């Protein structure tokens, strides 16, 4: 797909990987609309990049409806929806005082919200210019880790839903992309430590994903994610043990 003159919605576009999408896509001459809960973060990103901030919580049906309506009024279409916002919660399932809340929040943010937002965006995607949806899943879609009882499952769900939607939405002319990053050097990645991986810089990751979008690579395994997928197939027990060595700070 071409990457200029597009109307692009990036969830979580104010920091981390999302901010890198905002920077690089705005610099290419696209209109970038960014969402996130923290208004100040969004404003700073908007001032730096010229993006349009739409504050709100991606897990809120009301906020999703409001974003879609605002974009309909301002632009009339969405050409690319980047479902990027996500959280990673390490906790002990039995002893953590907030386990119940964490299970629901992680699934709501990482799995439910990208799908419900995509569904709500369909009317604007249908009238988009070569419309596409990009899901940011993870190498963790292929391997679980002991310290994060829910995160990998939320990304597996996205991986499988992306395949189904690729099939179902093709007749509408909507292309479904999925990018599976390795560990990336952002706020989320900052707390992760292991000898097994080297953190990828967010600008390098996003350059790789934009190259994949241009070349129509619908499933993108970035950096060490390729190795992780391969290892999960040939030695799943070993992969789980290696993933479980990751320390969370
Ligand atoms: N970093 C990694 O190692 C890594 C590896 C593979 C995949 N990923 C995936 O890449 C995506 C981006 O990760 P990142 O590393 O950039 O994380 P990050 O630095 O922690 O940033 C997360 C982004 O998501 C937004 N967000 C979180 N919860 C939200 C909510 N309820 N409503 C609206 N926005 C919300 C945050 O904005 P607010 O806080 O302002 O709401 C922020 O912009 C995630 O889906 C993550 O799972 C990351």
Q: Give me the DSSP letters along 57-112.
A: -TT-HHHHHHHHHHHHHHTS--SEEEE---------TTT-TTHHHHHHHHHIIIII
Distance CA 24, CA 203 (A): 8
Q: What would the mean pLDDT of 8-22 be, rounded to a whole number?
A: 98
pLDDT at 47: 98
Percent of the chain at pLDDT > 90 equals 94
Token pair 């994903």 is at which residue? Answer: 209
Token look-up 């920077």 returns 23
Token pair of 85, please?
A: 């916002």
CA 194, 38, 118, 100 dihedral sign is positive
Rg (CA), the chain: 17
Given pLDDT bands bounded at 50, 70 and 90, which one contains residue 100?
Answer: very high
Model pLDDT, residue 78: 98
User: Does the pLDDT value for residue 198 go beyond 90?
Assistant: no
- 237, with CB counted inside 10 A (0-12, 13-18, 19+), is exposed
Q: Say if 2 falls within a structural domain.
A: no
What pLDDT does residue 153 have?
Answer: 98
Q: Which pLDDT belongs to residue 149?
A: 96
Predicted pLDDT at 207: 98
Q: What's the confidence (pLDDT) of residue 117?
A: 99
Helices in the chain by DSSP H: which ranges? Answer: 16-27, 39-49, 61-74, 99-107, 113-126, 151-169, 187-190, 202-214, 225-234, 236-243
Query: Comparing 62-66, 100-104, 137-141, 241-245, which segment has the lowest mean pLDDT?
Result: 241-245
**Domain assignment of residue 143, yes or no:** yes
Q: Is residue 48 part of a domain?
A: yes
Mean of pLDDT values over 72-87: 98
Name which residue sits closest to atom 44 of ligand 1, judged by CA: 86
145-157: burial string, b at 16+ Cβ within 10 Å, e else: bebbbbbbbbbbb
- 1 occurs within a structural domain: no
pLDDT digits (tens, 9 = 90+) for 239-248: 999 989 988 8
pLDDT tens digits for 144-193? Answer: 999 999 999 999 999 999 999 999 999 999 999 999 999 999 999 998 88
Residue-level pLDDT at 243: 86
For residue 188, give its domain range: 7-248
Ligand 1 atom index nearest CA of 140: 6
Question: Residue 195 has what pLDDT?
Answer: 85
Going by alpha carbons, the residue nearest to atom 43 of ligand 1 is: 12
**Is 31 within a domain?**
yes
State the chain's mean pLDDT as an integer.
97
Copy the structure tokens of residue 18.
């999302």
pTM value? 0.98
**Which tokens hold the place of 69?**
């309506």
What atom in ligand 1 is closest to the CA of residue 137? 7
Distance 85 CA to ligand 1 centre (A): 4
The answer to whether position 200 is within a domain reads yes
pLDDT of residue 196: 84
Residue 244 lies in a domain: yes
203-214 confidence digits (pLDDT tens)? 999 999 999 999
Give distance in angstroms: CA of 171 to centre of ligand 1: 31
How far apart (Å, rounded) are the C-alpha atoms in residues 86 and 91?
Answer: 16
| Atom of ligand 1 lying closest to residue 17 CA | 16
Q: How many domains does the chain have?
A: 1
What is the distance in A from the centroid of ligand 1 to the CA of 1?
Answer: 25
- Confidence band, pLDDT 50/70/90 cuts, at residue 68: very high
CATH code for the domain of 104: 3.40.50.720
């Amino acid at each position: 797909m071409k990457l200029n003159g597009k109307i692009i919605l990036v969830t979580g576009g104010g920091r981390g990987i999302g901010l890198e999408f905002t920077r690089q896509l705005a610099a290419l001459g696209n209109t970038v609309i960014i969402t996130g809960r923290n208004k100040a973060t969004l404003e700073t990103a908007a001032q730096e990049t010229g993006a349009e901030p739409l504050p709100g919580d991606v897990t809120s049906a009301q906020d999703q409806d409001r974003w879609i309506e605002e974009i309909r009024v301002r632009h009339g279409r969405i050409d690319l929806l980047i479902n990027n916002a996500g959280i990673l919660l390490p906790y002990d399932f039995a002893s953590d005082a907030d386990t119940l809340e964490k299970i629901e929040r992680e699934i709501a943010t990482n799995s439910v919200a990208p799908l419900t937002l995509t569904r709500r965006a369909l009317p604007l995607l249908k009238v988009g210019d070569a419309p596409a949806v990009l899901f940011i899943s993870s190498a963790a879609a292929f391997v679980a880790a002991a310290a994060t009882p829910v995160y990998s499952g939320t990304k597996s769900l996205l991986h499988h839903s992306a395949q189904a939607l690729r099939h179902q939405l093709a007749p509408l002319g909507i292309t479904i992309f999925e990018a599976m990053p390795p560990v990336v050097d952002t706020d989320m990645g900052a707390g992760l430590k292991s000898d097994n991986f080297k953190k990828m810089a967010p600008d390098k990751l996003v350059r790789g994903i934009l190259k994949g979008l241009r070349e129509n690579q619908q499933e993108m395994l970035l950096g060490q994610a390729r190795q992780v997928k391969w290892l999960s197939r040939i030695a799943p027990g070993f992969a789980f043990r290696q993933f479980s060595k990751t320390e969370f700070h």
